[in-house]
DNA sequence: TCACCTTAGTGTACGCAGTACACTATCGAT
DNA sequence: ATCGATAGTGTACTGCGTACACTAAGGTGA
């Protein structure tokens, strides 16, 4: 079966930059290509937009296929449509980025897990297509957006310490933050819920746990507070 | 002649939100549709992405066809890909926005000029497709970006007074600004070139003219200055 | 059990930038 | 000469970002 149109059409794909945070740093999930072009080269998870799904659904499907995760933070980035970005034929791709909580979820061993791996954002391999440009845009967006939107929590476990939170910001922004100023700032924003729990199994004084509270955040921003780290 | 593919493909279009500034306020250029669907309804200028042009080129071509202008500020916004946004068939569209200097250029009388008109952003007619959503995104982007990037100058004549500059910001941001604070701010940013000219043919004290100086702006931002209105 | 190691947790002083606010200067028109 | 309209100018206050160092707590292991 084939589908005919009066004029030629570009193929339409989505590609996802999936960010995760571990002790090493900010990581990106890549897939090793099994087919030409760029066989053996690492690439972003992605694929064609089906005719019966929205572009957001296509991105979410790719994300689920690679990680098994649903309900994660996913946002459209930018659409790349240069003529020769795919050597086979004209392909326009819609770039997305996602933020994954690597602590609370065990990622499913994807059928092609052998071909998937996490790479530190500061030490990426050579990539297929123009995927390096997509990752660069995603990182830039994440760095700027994390400063004025509470999206960084998506990278952390649901319960976290203030030190973990600070480390997350330091890792994403790639610069050190002052501990006292950081705590003053996030606590006065009044969007964290202080829990009656401390972290367990640590070889030093245990830190108090906090949780992001959406309702408090909305209330605080309505009252004119600027979230800004 | 027709083009066949193994799998069905969405059509790919671009739509441009073209902003202009006049004495009334912030305006958007719309086209009255001559064909179904939405015949007679106002819509954004736009059309199909050709197979031999990048998506940016497609947007620039549409812009040129409607305004006759080249070399204007044009930026990609967002890609909309819901299933039923066009009743005829699956169409994915890439939204763009452009900023036009209505003072220095006389827009060409487009062949279909009778079907094109400027509308005040605060008083838009009912629109075809999901073009109201695209305009809303464009306005939101413009409002936020104008505060930290020197893109507002694209809406002004090359030589302008500080009052014109302030009015532009007030119109885009839809809120009043304090005159003395505004002047202090833009002058200390050191990105304006003070000219040895004053405005002509005004029935009151003539104001000094200024010009945006890209080199000064770059130098100022390199030295850590934040452009922020 | 006690000394040590590691991380948690806390307050103050300074400087700069945002903000609020009102009068004089200039020019053309009548 | 007066009027009308817009240009152009300075100061004081307040709040926020920033720089900076010590004590508290709890597990480890000699």
The domains found in chain A, sorted by start residue, are 11-145 (3.90.79.10), 150-222 (1.10.10.10)
Q: Are B38 and B128 in contact (CB under 8 A)?
A: yes
* Sequence-distant (≥ 6) Cβ neighbours of residue A108 within 8 angstroms: A67, A68
pLDDT > 90 fraction of chain B, expressed in percent and rounded: 86
| CA A206 / C1′ C1 distance in Å | 22
Mark A86-119 as b/e (b = at least 16 C-beta within 10 Å).
Answer: beeebbbbbbbbbbbbbbeeebeebeeeeebebb
d(CA B174, CA B146): 12
Helix axis angle, B162-173 to B179-188, nearest 10°: 110
A53 vs chain B: nearest CA distance in angstroms? 7
Is the preceding peptide bond at A37 cis, omega within 30 degrees of 0?
Answer: yes
CA distances from B177 to A117, A132, A143, B101, B118 (A): 51, 42, 30, 22, 26
Helices (H), B75-213: 131-145, 162-173, 179-188
* Rounded Cα–Cα distance for residues A186 and A65 (Å): 35
- Look up the pTM and report it: 0.96
pLDDT at A229: 67
Q: How far apart are CA A25 and CA A135, in angstroms?
A: 16
Per-residue pLDDT, averaged over B185-198, amounts to 95
- For the beta carbon of residue B195, count every other beta carbon within 10 angstroms: 12
Q: Please list, in sequence order, all residues whose beta carbon lies within 8 angstroms of the beta carbon of residue A56, skipping any fewer than 6 positions away.
A: A74, A76, B81
Of A7, A58, A81, Cβ closest to residue B54: A81
Banded pLDDT at B9 (limits 50, 70, 90): very high
Could you say which residues 162-221 of protein chain A have a Cβ atom less than 7 A away from any atom in strand C?
Answer: 162-163, 179-181, 183-184, 198, 202-208
DSSP bridge pairs for A127: A42
Nearest CB among A1, A80, A92 relative to B12 is that of: A92
Question: Which DSSP symbol is given to B197?
Answer: E
ipTM: 0.95
CB-based contact (8 Å) between B51 and chain A? yes
| Tokens found for residue A162 | 């203030």
Asked whether B194 and B208 are in contact (CB, 8 A), the reply is yes
Enter the tokens of residue A103. Answer: 């602590």
Nearest CA in chain A to B54: A82
* Cα distance between residue B15 and residue B79, in whole Å: 10
How many Å lie between the alpha carbon of B216 and the closest alpha carbon of chain A? Answer: 24
Statement: residue B94 has pLDDT above 80: yes
pLDDT digits (tens), chain A, 229 positions: 899 999 999 999 999 999 999 998 999 999 999 999 999 999 999 999 999 999 999 999 999 998 999 999 999 999 999 999 999 999 999 999 999 999 887 776 555 667 999 999 999 999 999 999 999 999 999 999 999 999 999 999 999 999 999 999 999 999 999 999 999 999 999 999 999 999 999 999 999 999 999 999 998 887 765 667 6
Residue recorded with tokens 């197979």: B51
Contact B91, A5 (CB under 8 A): no
**Nearest amino-acid residue to C10, taking CA and C1':** A180
Query: Is-contact B97 B17, C-beta < 8 A?
Result: yes
Determine phi and psi for B80, rounding to 5 degrees. Answer: -105, 125
Residue pair A186/A169 in contact by the 8 Å Cβ criterion: no
Residue pointed to by tokens 């589908």: A3
Of B10, B51, B80, the CB nearest to A12: B10
Q: Do A6 and B2 touch (CB under 8 A)?
A: yes
Cβ <8 Å between A81 and B56: yes
| Tally of CB atoms within 10 A around B188 | 10
- Antiparallel, parallel or unpaired: β A11-21 and A91-100: parallel
| Nearest chain A Cα distance for residue B90, angstroms | 7
Residue B141 vs residues A11, A135, B27, B127, B130: alpha-carbon distances, Å:
28, 22, 15, 20, 17
């Amino acid at each position: 079966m084939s589908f005919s149109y009066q004029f030629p059409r570009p193929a339409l794909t989505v590609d996802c930059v999936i960010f995760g945070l571990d002790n090493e740093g900010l990581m990106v999930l890549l897939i090793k290509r099994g087919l030409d072009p760029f066989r053996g080269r690492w690439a972003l998870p992605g694929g064609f937009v089906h005719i019966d799904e929205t572009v957001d659904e296509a991105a979410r499907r790719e994300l689920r296929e690679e990680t098994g995760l649903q309900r994660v933070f996913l946002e459209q980035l930018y659409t790349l449509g240069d003529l020769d970005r795919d050597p086979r034929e004209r392909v326009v791709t819609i770039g997305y980025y996602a933020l994954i909580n690597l602590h609370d979820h065990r990622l499913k061993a994807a059928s092609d897990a052998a071909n998937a791996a996490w790479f530190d954002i500061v030490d990426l391999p050579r990539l297929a297509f123009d995927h390096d440009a997509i990752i660069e845009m995603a990182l830039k967006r994440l760095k700027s957006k994390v400063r004025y939107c509470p999206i960084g929590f998506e990278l952390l476990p649901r319960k976290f310490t203030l030190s973990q939170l600070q480390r997350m910001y330091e890792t994403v922004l790639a610069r050190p933050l002052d501990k006292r100023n950081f705590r003053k700032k996030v606590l006065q924003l009044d969007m964290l819920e202080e829990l009656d729990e401390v972290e367990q199994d640590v070889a030093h004084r245990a830190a108090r746990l906090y949780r992001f509270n959406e309702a408090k955040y909305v209330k605080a921003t309505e009252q004119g507070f600027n979230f800004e780290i």
